[in-house]
Structures are given as C-alpha cells and as structure tokens.
Structure 1
C-alpha cells in the first residue's frame, strides 16, 4: 500500500480521536455493523477526495467494513488532521495522501495518487477529483460506476458539466438531501464557522455587526447562531427569494458595497468567487475580520487584499494574518481565505456529520445495484428517511404513526371535508 502522510508516529493519537468522534456517530456505526454483515461493496475500489478529519475516518471505516478498498486524498490542505491520516494508514489500512498545509502542487499530486487505485466509485467534496478524472485521467473514466458529491460548490460544478454533456458517469448530489443540507449545512456550518472565528481571533461577537454573504442553508444557520450570540446580522444576497426570507426573519439586507462600511466580521458562504472584492475592502473599517466558509478560497479576493496592503503581519494569531493598508487600517484575514471552520477549528461536530456520512455510505451501497446514465441524481428518498429515523432512534425520540383511517384519507380523493 502506498501513502503520503506527515508522521506515522501520530497514529495512536489519531485512533483515540477517531474513536472519540465515533461515540457521537451512532447512525454510521449501525450502518458499519450492517455493512460488515452484508458486504455490499465487496471487491470495489473507492477513491475519495474529502477533508481528512476524524469524522471522515469513520466513513472510511464503514466503507471498508462493506468490503471496499479505499484511497483518500485531502480536499483542503488546511483541514487535514495529520494524526487522523496516520491512524487511517497504520491502524485501519487505508491508502491516504494528505499532509496538513501542503502546497497547491502537492494537493493535486495527492488527488492523482488516490486515483491510481482505478476506482469503481468516487466520493468528492468540491468536484476536484471528478474534474481531474474528466480532464487528465480519461483513461480511468470507463471503470467508474458512479459517485457522490458532498458539498454545494461541487454540486454546482456537476450540474454545469451535465448541462454541457461533459459528465461521463452518474453522480449523486448527497449535499442536496434533507438530512445533509438541513442539518450539516445549517447546524454544522453555523456552529463550526463561528467556532473557527472565535478560536482564531478571541473576539467577542456580542454587539458586533456580522455580515453574512449568502443566505442559503449555511447562511441561515450562521445568521441564527450569530444573532443568538448577540451579533447584529447583515445579509447580502443576489437571490430575491432568499433576500426576502432574510428580511422577514428580521435581518438587515444590504448590497456588499454598503455592508462593507458597517461590518466588523465578514463571512462568505456563497459557492461563488470574488464575493468580497477590492472595492469592498477599500471601504472596510479598521480591524474588520474576513472569514470564508464556502468551499474554495476564491470567495474573498485575497490578491486584491494583498495589492491594497503595504505590509502583512503573518500569524498574528494562529490562522490569522493582518493586512496593513496605506491609510493605517488593518484587515484581518482568517485561514488564508480557506474554510475557516476546518482550518481554524475542527469542522462540523461529529453528531452532524453522522447523518451526512450515513447518507454517503448508504448511497454508495445503493449505487452498486443501479444502472444509471451519466448525470446528477438525488439521493433516494428512502435513504434520507432511513437516516433521519435512525438518528431519531439514537436520540430516543419516538414518532406518531398514521391510523388506518388516516392512511385511507390521505390516499383517497373521494373523501371531502
């Protein structure tokens, strides 16, 4: 088995942390037990490009229990936990290609190394692995049965590929299933992003004006939690429906050009590029904090920030760089503009990733038995419902059941009021 990790000596620490996360992942644990008995992935090779965290490690263990051989590359250089990578290699037998803080060339080299497994299935977080398959490793395309995409940014790119007729195998948009985006995006991103900002800056959010760019599920979760911590929340949006939703929830909605003058903390969660640009940076107040929780490091124009600066103080705090402008104002960029919740904190709580990775595991098992044309597919509703039911059961929550009369009423149009 080949691999590229930072320090094999960290494996023991990694095992302890993986097992700690596993305690909060009862749904995935039950699926792992089922996979071990049924072996739905027996003999299959899986290439994954995902955040190398303790939660991901428990997904990899579940796929292995189902019979899969797994190769894993990191989907973000700053989110890799080196002890988790070491444990996956030396304790759990996965081929891992990930080092914390690796440069751009190393990042793409690791994806290529993971693809050397010649995958039957792929798991992606941001569509970089799928992109490389379609641009540089076309020789492997015919062997890929399908795969899953974990994040909004990746799903956007997959739909673009499908519209252009470029996508060569079926991909399931795991991000779009309710037990993923309603909980992972909203509760996970909402909590972990603020966690990362506070760890990196030790700032008090109460009383601050917090500008949130994008009011999808991630933006809603952030706004709820920022307001709950005493922040004055301003939302920027391009979608009239989402903007109206924000207004009716009591948030102030402004264009970024106006919000730039008021914000103390700026958080981007759009999936698009150049959301905060040079003209916005030029209007910001001294000490403004810039954080990104969208997938790629393109939402804040870091080059424009560097061009405006006359000096840069690197590492004024862990994952915080201070850019000094010509007029003396200081803007603080967190995590180099990358995912602040994973670079400056530990990402989503394991209890949330339990559902997202349960969706991933069950969808992999479902894909094996399907014959699908190339395209982007939704997670089957029964998988979504099963994951939600398992999560509720793990929380000792019981539901009502329809009576026969209620079922008949709902299934017939002949009964009036």
Structure 2
C-alpha cells in the first residue's frame, strides 16, 4: 500500500512546480527547524507534497486526515517515511475525534487546520498556550473561528480561504470543476438537460453552478444573502428559496459551509429519483440523520445510498453527505495545479507564522497581501502570462 501511495505522490509532485521551487528554498533555509506542525487536512497525494515541503523546511509533522476523505495508501506512504499520521478512510466519527485528540496531545506549536477542528480542541482542552499560531483552510472553519470561537483564539490564525487567489482559483474553478466531474463519475448520469439546484452562491457555489451550466445543466440557485443572490441573478441563474426549488430538482448540491441547509422540511417536497450531494466541508449541510430516519436505506454502490420515502419516492444520497468530490473509493478532488497554488499559500503562511507570529494579531486574519501578490506573479509566469 505504501508503494502504491508513493507512486501516486510521485505523479502529483511532477505537476506542482511552485511547491518544488519552495521545497528547495525551505531545505536551504529550514524555517521550521525544531517546530512540530499539527495537521488536520484531507490526506491525499497533493497533501503529501505539501507535507514533504514542510518537512524539507525542518518541520516535524503529526496529524490526521479529515473524516471520510483519508486515502489509506497515502497515509501508509507518509508513515513509511516516519511521519506520525493517524486515520483511515473508514474511521468512524468517534475514531476521527480520537485522532484529533492524539494530534493535539503531541503538543504542536503550529496548526495546519481544516474546519477548525484542531483549534477548537486546543482551546477546549486548555492547550492553546503552547501554540504560536496556525492556518485555516476552509469557509466552514473560518465561520467557526469567527462565530463559535469568537474572541477565544489567543494565537494568530491565517485564514487561507480569505485569499482572493483561493476564492478564484481553488474554490470557484477547482471545486466547480471537481464537483461536476465527481458527480458524473459517481453517478454516471448526464448533465445536459438535467435540473440542478445549487444551495449557496459563495465562491464554491458560483463555480459549481457555472460549470454545470457550461455542460448543459439547467441550474437554479438558492441563496439567503442579498448580494450573493443579486450576483447569481445577474449571472443568469434562476434564484429562489430552496423550498420553492427542491420539488422540481433532479439534483440538489449544497455548498454553503453552514449546517442545516437541506432539512426535514424539504424532504416531503423531493421528487422520486432526486440525487442529493454536499460539497461543504462538514457533513451537516444535508440533515442526514433526519433523511435516513425518514425511510428505508439501501446501498446502491459504495458511494450512493437509496432512501425510500413516503409516497414510494426514492432519493439518492452521495457519499453519506460528506464532500463527494473527496469522499468515496476513488476520489480525485481539486485539480493538481489549483492545489499547487493553494498549498503554496499554506506553506508561505505557515512560514510567516513560524518566523513572525509575534508581529501578527491574535485570532483569524486574512492571508498577508504580499503573499497573495507573490503567488499571483508566480502563477501568471507558469501560465505564460505577465503583467502589463
């Protein structure tokens, strides 16, 4: 298994040119010498290239994958290198929480977080005093830091999701592409002519809606924010409350970063044959417990469950409500090149924390502007473009 993981990592490494250049600099400068970085991130081949880049800079890596998206061959490959990586793809949520606790128990000085799980645990357990800072990858994690943990985070956290580069390159285009590609791969149904509802018109929702339409999907958008709804309408999508859209939908995709989007009140409105999928970080946007308790559940494939509801209606749930572009048996996730940009931002932000945390305010904050502009220039160069 470790050998298979290494082969996949080797291919990914050839496509991540910015991290390759940074790895050389980190190996020479060793900005993370003597520092343990605690990781909670989707453990897949692109993540492994980020991890080896940080390790080249002197970091000791300890961590775990996110629930349901861990790729076992990649974990095996990293463990074979002597890294302390916990978790398996089929871990229960209880096992995942234990893996998070094991990560925090290693007393990392810096967190590389996804969904704010490690930050929340460190604050709850009173272990945040040993932390000098961290990064947060997602919209969902940023919400938790700014709402659930507002004022409780005594160290700087650079929110990668606040970067316009991540919003445009990774969220809109990479998630948009991978959400549509993964939907087609998992279901083997056609997009053209099919009626899609996208719940949420943030950067990920924008990308999903636009990539679906580009392939011929008939797309409507549910959005509660006035400005985002305004943009969706001017982008040419029908915009309406979710309750008004679900009864005519063939496919519903949630992409908000919030809990309780598709709930029991909507389930009675679903048509026979409706497919439900979530792209948000946590599996809470679709109320899966309420859905599965409302009818008989039968597996169709390893990634699809059929739920028979009242009225002899059957709806289909992708990957148990987890992010279907990263869960399942053969996930691919976002494109390699997009994650080269995103993980370059992670690595440089972590370096900023390691070297200058004392100069940063505590709590969640955006990626420093100089990092955004440096990466933008490098990306333009790789694309064969340049500034005026």
TM (normalized to structure 1)? 0.90
Structure 2 residue matching 1:341: 3-state secondary structure: coil
Return the offset for 1:388: 1.4
Q: Give matches, 1:101-250, under 5 Å.
A: 101-136=90-125, 138=126, 140-161=127-148, 163=150, 165-250=151-236
Q: Which residue of 2 aligns with 1:335?
A: 319
Pair 1:102–1:162, CA change in 2 (3 A): closer
Task: List per-residue Cα deviations over 1:96-119 (Å, max 9, x = no partner).
Answer: 002011001110111111223211
The alpha carbon displacement at 1:161 in A equals 4.9
SS of match in other structure, 1:317: coil
SS at match of 1:207: coil
Partners of 2:120 and 2:149 within 8 A in 1: no
1:86 corresponds in structure 2 to 76
Superposed CA RMSD: 1.2
Correspondence for 1:362? 348
Matched, 1:95 2:84: yes
The aligned counterpart of 1:29 is 20
Whether contact under 8 Å (2:31, 2:355) holds in the other structure is no
1:190·1:218 contact (CA, 8 Å) conserved in 2? yes
- Partner SS, residue 363 of structure 1: helix
Structure 1: distance between partners of 2:98 and 2:281: 20
**Which residue of structure 2 lines up, in the alignment, with residue 3 of structure 1?**
none
The Cα shift of 1:190 comes to 0.5
Q: CA deviation at 1:395?
A: 2.5
- Separation in 1, partners of 2:337, 2:13: 9
Q: Does 1:382 align with 2:370?
A: yes
Superposition misfits of 4+ residues, deviation over 4 angstroms: none
Is the aligned partner of 1:67 residue 2:53? Answer: no
Residue 288 (1) aligns with residue 274 (2): yes
Which shows bigger deviation, 193-202 or 118-127? Answer: 193-202
Q: Which has the larger radius of gyration?
A: 1
Q: Where do 5+ consecutive residues of structure 2 fail to align?
A: none
Q: Deviations for 1:23-78, whole angstroms, at most 9, x for unmatched residues?
A: 221111111111111111111110010000111111100110111000021122x2
Rounded to whole Å, the distance in 1 between the matches of 2:345 and 2:48 is 15
The 5 A counterparts of 1:265-276 are 265-276=251-262
Unaligned runs of 5+ in 1: 1-9, 401-417
In structure 1, C-alpha distance between the alignment counterparts of 2:227 and 2:325, rounded to whole Å = 27
Aligned to 2:297: 312
Question: In 2, Cα distance between the equivalents of 1:397 and 1:98?
Answer: 41
Partner of 1:410: none
Q: Contact 1:28/1:59 (CA < 8 Å) preserved in 2?
A: yes
Displacement after TM superposition at 1:146 (Å): 0.2
Number of residues paired by the alignment? 384
Q: CA deviation at 1:269?
A: 0.5
Equivalent in the alignment of 2:306:
322
Following superposition, the deviation at residue 373 of structure 1 comes to 3.8
- In structure 2, distance between residues paired with 1:207 and 1:364: 45
Distance in 2 between the 1:141 and 1:335 partners? 34
